[in-house]
Amino acid sequence: MDLGEINPVLLLASLMVAATPLLLAAIGELVVEKAGVLNLGVEGMMIVGAISGFAISVETGSPWLGFVAAAIGGAVLSLLFVLLTQVALANQVASGLALTLFGLGFSALLGQSYVGIKPPSMGDIHIPLISDIPVIGPILFQHDPILYVGIALTAAVWATLKYTRVGLILRAVGENHDAAHALGYKVIKIRIMAILFGGACAGLGGAYISLIRVPQWTEGMTAGVGWIALALVVFASWKPWRALLGAYLFGGITVLQLNLQAAGVAIPVEYLAMSPYIITILVLVILSADKSSAPASLGRIFHASH
């Protein structure tokens, strides 16, 4: 056992990378659920984003275009969910599950000719001076741009929900869609926008895995991150900063436990392997003691005639 072999700077840096796909997907789903819609299709939208982003960045040579395509891909898939749940008023749970199944199969079909290809690299941001600060520089200021997008998005969602009129309307729709409707807000339209936003975020998260974290395309490569993102939204009590904390905890402990294993720390591996789940849940459950609850209209179908 030699803890000295773990480089804390590299550890903290890779912690943020491991957390970002989860964070992006969770923030998107958080907005969707705040609008009163439960979309269980996160995994499907992520994997479609992963292949859309991968394919476009391979074809164009530009990872930026890839991420744009991933967001569009995720949003387009979520349109299917919109059609089912907002137009046809189908059950949201079943539609979401169907979206995941469809996304997994569809992405495998799209990705057949992209196996074994190396995507163009995005490169890390290097800001003169602050990126060169010892320790802090490599941890905080030498990442790929999308990682910062994730943090910025969290801040933006938090501020929008808390301080703006748009956020207030979105929350109103999620809490009581009949009242919101009576006030003249277009419930369906607002929900559609939220679902599309969630799809785009999930797509970005998926592409982050296929373009930066791994980077390659493999069928089914999101391997359940979407489900963890869904759980995270609940455990974070629908609060953006807690979702960020949860994502960083989960990603961080995942990487930390691998580091501890590699360094030969004498903690049984089984405990290390389950630690990301346990610790994340524990911390978020303790935090949620303030009795913040789910949006009251979550998962309920809205029709103006009701």
Partner 1 sequence: MKFTAVLASAAMALGLATGAMAQDKTKVGFVYVGPVGDGGWTYEHNKGRLAVEEHFGDQVETVFVESVPEGPDAERVMTQMALEGADLIFTTSFGYMDPTINVAKKFPNVKFEHATGYKTAPNVSVYSARFYEGRAVQGHIAGKMTESNIIGYIGSYPIPEVIRGINSAYIHAKKVNPDVEFKIVWAYTWFDPAKEADAATVLIEQGADVILQHTDSTAPQAAAQEAGNVITFGQASDMSEYAPKPRVSSIIDNWAPYYIARTQAVIDGSWETVNTWDGIKEGMVEIGEISDAVPADVKEEALALKAAMAAGEYHPFTGPLKKQDGSDWLAEGETADDGTLAGMNFYVEGLEGEIPQ
In the numeric block, the tokens 């703006």 are attached to 164
81 φ, ψ to 5°? -65, -40
Does position 91 bind partner 1 by CB under 8 A? Answer: no
CA neighbours closer than 13 Å in the CB half-sphere of residue 157 = 31
Q: Which is closer to partner 1, CB of 72 or CB of 209? A: 209
Among 93, 101, 273, 285, binds partner 1 (CB under 8 A): 273
Does position 113 bind partner 1 by CB under 8 A? Answer: no
What contacts 174, CB < 8 A, 6 or more positions away?
33, 34, 35, 36, 37, 295, 296, 297, 298
Among 219, 234, 277, 283, binds partner 1 (CB under 8 A): 219
Does position 254 bind partner 1 by CB under 8 A? Answer: yes
Tokens in use for 130? 């602050």
Q: Which is closer to partner 1, CB of 118 or CB of 291? A: 118
Does position 259 bind partner 1 by CB under 8 A? Answer: yes
Does position 118 bind partner 1 by CB under 8 A? Answer: yes
CA dihedral over 115, 225, 170, 146, signed as positive or negative: negative
CA angle 104, 110, 111 (to 5 degrees): 85
Does position 101 bind partner 1 by CB under 8 A? Answer: no
Among 131, 142, 176, 218, binds partner 1 (CB under 8 A): 218
User: How many other CB atoms sit within 10 Å of the CB of residue 142?
Assistant: 16
Does position 112 bind partner 1 by CB under 8 A? Answer: yes
Binding site for partner 1 (CB under 8 A): 5-7, 10-11, 14, 18, 21, 108, 111-112, 115-118, 121, 209, 213-216, 218-225, 254-255, 258-259, 261-264, 266, 268-270, 273
